[in-house]
Amino acid sequence: MITSKKLRYKLTRGPLLALAVALVSQTVICARTRDLTAAEGRELVMQALDPEAKKLPKLAIDLEDRKVPEFYEFVVTWDNPNGSVIVGFFAVNQRTGDVWRLVVCRRVESPGLRRLQDVIRRKVGLGRGDLIKLRSNAPCEP
Instruction: Assess contact for 64 and 139: CB atoms under 8 A.
Output: no
Residue 21 DSSP code: H
- Residues 18 and 67 reside in one and the same domain: no
Residue 49 DSSP code: S
Number of folded domains that form the chain = 2
Strand partners, 121: none
- Residues 83 and 55 reside in one and the same domain: yes
User: Pick from 84, 117, 75, 80: which is nearest to 99 by CA?
Assistant: 117
- Residues 26 and 47 reside in one and the same domain: no
- Residues 13 and 71 reside in one and the same domain: no
Q: Is residue 139 part of a domain?
A: no
Which helix (H) or strand (E) covers residue 77, if one does? strand 71-77
Instruction: Assess contact for 37 and 95: CB atoms under 8 A.
Output: no
Range of the domain at 16: 1-30
Give the C-alpha separation, 126 to 134, whole Å: 10
Give the C-alpha separation, 7 to 46, whole Å: 58
- Residues 8 and 53 reside in one and the same domain: no
Under-50 pLDDT residues of the chain: 7, 11, 16-29
Chain-centroid distance, C-alpha 107: 13
CATH number for 130? 3.10.450.170
pTM: 0.75
Residues 14-53 pLDDT 10s: 554 444 444 443 444 457 789 999 999 999 999 999 999 9
